Every structure is written in structure tokens, then in C-alpha cells.
Amino acid sequence: ERFGENAGKKANFKIQLAEISIVKRPELDLEFFKKYGVEDEKELKEKVGESITSRKKAELQSEYRIAVRAQLSALYDEFDLPQELMDFEQEQVQKELDKMSGEKEITEEEKEKKKQEGFDNAKMDLRMKFILDSISEHEELKFDENEAAREFVGLAQITGQSPDELIQSPFGRDMYQRIIIRKQGDATLDRVVARVFGDAIEENVPETHEHVHDENCDHNH
């Protein structure tokens, strides 16, 4: 299709070479080490090794979470969800559809399909939240809000806003709550994984908390 009537025919091409580049290995000198915050080649290798190990550990941890989440969803899918929450989720899905319809034309068939998919996903997420909340309560997990605050601060910097400004907007408050819910869920899934593998359970109770100020604060800023 790309070549039309010339498809399958032999052709001669003329190519003009504009540039040849080669990769030049940098000198492992003091300037190079300083750039990466290390003293020498040995420390650089250690730092790279730690980074690779940390990344692989995070990938494996993510795989465990996904597997455990799927198992929990399959094991505990018989309980009824509160109708009030179900109605709220349906309203949210409908709002998203209305917004989408305003941006581009969608057929009624597509709209119904997306509506059902959206509601099914919302129901699954809601069910999983109930399961994870129950496990968290049973395990008496202490959630470190510092992690959520640090991620929120990073996202605020990306958008070019201060965290305190961003949290005042509906978008910012929703983002912060989503981060907290996800972090709490991850912590609970990690605890389940630890129980499965018989790993030692470490209690992490932070003495001080980073905090993102919103309109619900009841203390002086």
C-alpha cells in the first residue's frame, strides 16, 4: 500500500551520507567521578551495582504485588459492596464519559461499552480496596505518609507548582489521595508477600511526618 503501483518492483536508491559518529569512551578522571558523585572507579562500580540491584528488586516486588493482587481478587469476590459507593462510582464513570463525549464524537455502542468497562474496573478497584483495608487492619500496619508526601512533592515540582499550592486545587487533592491509597495498597501487598515467603516483618513507625497542607489542616502552617 505504501508504494502503490511500484510495490514489488526493483528500485535503485541514492543515499547521501551526512555524518559519521562514533562513541567515545570518556576518561575515568576526577572530573568524571565528580560528575557522578563518587571518588573513584571502585565506588562508581559499587554505585552502579546498587542501582541495578535496586531496580531489579523493585521490578520483582512489582511482579509479586500483581500476582498477589490477582490471587486476592479471585479468592474474595463473593461479598457485596455498599450500594452508596457503587452509585458514586457509576456517577464518576458517567462524568468521565460525558467529558469524553464533549471532546470527540462517540457512538452509543462505544459509549455503552466504555461505560460498562469503566464501571467494572471501578468495582474491581473498590473491592480490592476493601480487601486490602481489611488485611491492613488485621496486620495493624502503620503507613508512612512521608512516602506519599515525597512523591507528591516530586510531582508538584514537575508541574512547576509548590506542593502547598497544588494541594489547594481539586486536581491536587485528588492526586494526593490517589498516591496515599496506592502506597497503602502497596504496603499491604508487600506484607502479604512477606507472609507468603516467611520473611521477617519489620515495623516502621516514623517519629515525624512530612506533610502537605490542605484546606482540612487543623494546625498552624
The pLDDT tens digits for 49-98 are: 999 999 999 999 999 999 998 888 888 877 888 889 888 888 888 888 88
Instruction: Specify the pLDDT at position 176.
Output: 93
Rounded average pLDDT over 210-216: 54
CA distance 206 to 159: 28
Whether the Cβ atoms of residue 191 and residue 135 lie closer than 8 Å to each other:
yes
CA distance 104 to 145: 39
Rounded average pLDDT over 183-194: 92
Rounded average pLDDT over 131-142: 91
pLDDT band at residue 207 using 50, 70 and 90 as cut-offs: very low
Q: What percent of the chain has pLDDT over 90?
A: 30
Q: Is residue 66 helix, strand or coil? A: helix
What is the CA angle 87-88-91, rounded to 5? Answer: 90
pLDDT band at residue 136 using 50, 70 and 90 as cut-offs: very high
The answer on pLDDT for 152 being more than 80 is yes
Rounded average pLDDT over 102-120: 85
Rounded average pLDDT over 4-9: 75
Instruction: Specify the pLDDT at position 221.
Output: 45
Arithmetic mean of pLDDT over the chain:
84
> Does the pTM exceed 0.75?
no
Least confident piece of the model among 5-19, 28-42, 50-64, 117-131: 5-19
